[in-house]
Amino acid sequence: GAVVSQHPSRVICKSGTSVKIECRSLDFQATTMFWYRQFPKQSLMLMATSNEGSKATYEQGVEKDKFLINHASLTLSTLTVTSAHPEDSSFYICSAREGQGYNEQFFGPGTRLTVL
């Protein structure tokens, strides 16, 4: 299957700093990328959907000014957690989809963010 990478895999930062997470589709062009957040023993919570070249669509309750998403190219999307707080500590996972409709999503390996 298609490969999606995320970088970094793990990051620890101080409260108040910003952290950028990259999501890349390595062998296909991702028309759409999704960002999820997973709390321990809980489901994947969709944070936002981004299409290349346009603004991301955020889910209800997700602060767009706190979680900045940029989908600058068909192979790269970034999530920046601004002014991070300990409650932002979580496992962030991106996925990418080629084309529209029911094409399956390919997930990245996730990024573990710990805010001290």
Is residue 53 part of the contact set for other proteins (CB under 8 A)? Answer: no
Q: Is 100 in the site for other proteins (CB under 8 A)?
A: yes
Binding part of the chain for other proteins, among 13-21, 40-48, 65-73, 76-84 by CB under 8 A, reads 40-48
4: three-class secondary structure by DSSP: strand
DSSP-based helix, strand, coil % in the chain, nearest 5: 5, 50, 45
Give yes or no for residue 101 binding other proteins (CB under 8 A): yes
Contact with other proteins (CB under 8 A) among 49, 70, 80, 89 = 49
Cα separations in angstroms, 53 against 18, 38, 47, 56: 23, 26, 18, 9
Binding site for other proteins (CB under 8 A): 1, 4, 6, 34, 36, 41-46, 49, 91, 93-95, 100-110, 112
